[in-house]
A and B are shown apart, each in its own frame.
Chain A
Amino acid sequence: MVFALLPFCLVGLASFLSHSDDHLLELPFTLLNYVQLNNSIYLKVFKESLYLAAICTVICLILGYPFAYIIARIEGRLKGLLILLLIIPFWTSSLIRTYSMITILKPKGIISSALMWLGIIDKPLQLLFTDTAVMIGLVYNLLPYMIIPLLTNIERLDSRLIDAARDLGANRITTFRKVILPLTMPGIWSGCILVFLPAMTIFYIPDLLGGSKSILLGNVIQNQFLTVQNWPLGSAINVVFTFILIVLLLVYWQSTRGREHRKLL
């Protein structure tokens, strides 16, 4: 509890303090930081981050669900191998993996060269420093966080329920829609949250792959803390961001009536 709440309290406190060039934080208490936030630039950044994170979450879900389903349903050595493939990326720092993506995505990188060799494109592809690159980077880094909760959920799904649905006259699509999907909802939600939150705040991926063009919420906070050294403003952004996320989560909480959905959160 202490480790979870203390940073929050400190950030909350800092957001009400003043800023000067000599000290990171100083008295008196002020609401100025929050007033500064009422600025269309911050709103735009927030909206863009939200949009990007949402798309990233949807892509992760679409890619991750079938993968998780296949792993959960197969048996034996292949399953172990696939789970290993899922874990291996965690052995390397995500920052290093993002740097290595630059080599893949750059105009003379692997993807571009391969496409040119295949004759699909005739001049080097400018992937790096685009939104597409940021998206590829986000999805690549966050996909395991979608797959792992889904995998645990689908594995716990009683296969006899699927048999029962088939037995009662449901074809494969109906079985998926009416039985498998509702019963794996908890996994879907926890996967989405685990992907969505980091996608909003992760700052080095837009930094490295998006260049200076894409400024997202994570970058803004990082800038305020490390570059401009305006800790109170950075804290204020953070507090507002946390507050909005809590509201979003509460909205979701209210919209799901099923108790089992909540258990996993």
Chain B
Amino acid sequence: MTSNVIELRSVSKSIHGHDILYDVNLEVRNGEFLTLLGPSGCGKTTLLRLISGFEEPTKGKVFINGKDVSGLPPHLRHVHTVFQSYALFPHMTAFENVAFGLRCQKRPAKEIQERVNNVLKIVKLEKYANRRPEQLSGGQQQRVAIARAIVNRPLVLLLDEPLSSLDYRLRKTMQLELKQLQRKLGIAFLFVTHDQEEALSMSDRVVVMDEGSIEQIGTPRQVYEEPRSLNVAKFIGEVNIFNSTVTAIDEKSVSMEIEGKQRIVKGTYPYQVGQKLHVLVRPEDLRVWGPAEVDDTTDMYPGTVEEVIYKGTTVDFMVRLSNNQLVAATKFFNEDDERVDYTIGEQVWASWLSGWEVLLPHAT
């Protein structure tokens, strides 16, 4: 048995001549929490439907547990979906909704009773077994939908933006519960979302998608700290992008000119002198200093504070640099940096520690 429960090999899908997915290669490992992250319309849901069997790929193959599932209808695949709208059966109670899959398998009544009650207990709904979906709150309906899928012990649970219609606090709670549930059950979850925060906080690995193809697959930390493309960087979190040109390069470092200042970045890079690069700096890595706080400004960029946004745990600044570029900086309240409150219109210096930036060559 392979360690991958699902594999997609060069899968493409077009509908009415439009390419929805293009040459997607993806594997879902046993027991992992994998998230598909991307803007709406990037093909995430189509990808799920290819796995669940509601759509067939135009090209390429889907393997479930090592078996090619081409042409296999949804009810014969051992994967189950939690739909975005929950799609609970309105004419059945919570219990009957959950029992539906087991009844389709014609399990004995006693086993159904036992397994359904068990699962309802896991999702903390044992008291609501006899309610109909319309008598349940959004969060409870969500739990019924999850219970209905996991009671069948699927190989993989597919979740199509299941939290998107819940309010912020409930979403936070459900995120945590889903994560705990996944650990408890030990089955792979393939979770679709357009919320980058959700993706980062829940996943073992994140698949960043854009316009029908996969941009990057990696741990949340990898995709956040080492984005492989400008799209990934822009989609996950905020980022400041500076233009630069390589002025010198050797095996240990690369020198470049960024907005009129020279900077050296350590490390081995395959760049050439004269090549244009994007320099990516996260707002939390961008430091802002008042004029009185600095002695040496050779590495720093002058600017004016344009906006101050107090967020409780952090303060965000929007700073207009002298080249007219607007950058974002985030300051945490910590002991060694007492000066966190700058006023709008104040002259400041912006800078970042060498090594905290990400270099990306211009796309050719």
Contact = CB atoms under 8 A, between A and B. Distances in A.
Nearest to A181: B91
A166 B74 contact: yes
B108 to A, nearest CB: 16
Interface in B52-70: 52, 54
Interface stretch (A130-138, A155-163, A231-239): A155-163
B149 interface: yes
A167 B74 contact: yes
Contacts of B87: 158, 160-161, 163-164
B153 to A, nearest CB: 11
A258 B91 CA distance: 8
A167 B52 contact: yes
Contact of B149 (A166, A168, A183, A260): A168
Nearest to A178: B100
Interface stretch (B15-23, B75-83, B188-196): B75-83
A66 interface: no
A169 B91 contact: no
A160 to B, nearest CB: 4
A174 B83 contact: no
B100 A165 contact: yes
Interface in B121-174: 148-149, 152
A182 B73 CA distance: 23
Size class of the contact patch on chain A: 10 to 19
Interface residues of B, number: 23
Given A174-B104, A178-B100, A167 B89 contact: no
Contacts of B83: 160, 163-164
Interface string A155-197: 0001011011111111100100011001100000000000000
Contact of A164 (B81, B91, B103, B105): B81
Contacts of A170: 75, 100, 104
B26 to A, nearest CB: 20
B4 interface: no
Contacts of A178: 100, 103
A232 to B, nearest CB: 47
> Which of A161, A163, A168, A179 counts the most chain B CB atoms within 10 A?
A168
A166 B89 contact: no
User: Looking at B52, B87, B101, which has the most chain A CB atoms within 10 Å of its CB?
Assistant: B87
Contacts of B54: 163, 166-167
Contacts of B89: 161, 164-165, 179, 183
Contacts of B100: 165, 168, 170, 178
B75 A167 contact: yes
B91 A183 contact: yes
A24 to B, nearest CB: 51
Given A164-B81, A178-B100, A171 B75 contact: yes
A183 to B, nearest CB: 6
B25 interface: no
Contacts of B46: none
Contacts of A169: 75-76, 101, 104-105, 152
Contact of B80 (A168, A179, A182, A260): A168
Interface centre among A160, A166, A260 (most CB of B within 10 A): A166
A136 B152 CA distance: 49
Contacts of A161: 87, 89-90
B91 A168 contact: no
Given A160-B85, A174-B104, A178-B100, A167 B80 contact: yes
Contact of A183 (B75, B90, B104): B90
A173 to B, nearest CB: 11
Given A166-B74, A167-B74, A179-B89, 6 more contacts: A161-B87, A164-B88, A168-B104, A169-B152, A170-B104, A174-B104
15 contacts: A160-B83, A161-B90, A163-B74, A163-B81, A163-B87, A164-B87, A164-B89, A165-B89, A165-B100, A166-B75, A167-B75, A169-B105, A178-B100, A178-B103, A183-B90
The 5 closest A-B pairs by CB, nearest first: A164-B87, A168-B101, A160-B87, A169-B104, A166-B74
Interface of B: 52, 54, 73-76, 80-81, 83, 85, 87-91, 100-101, 103-105, 148-149, 152
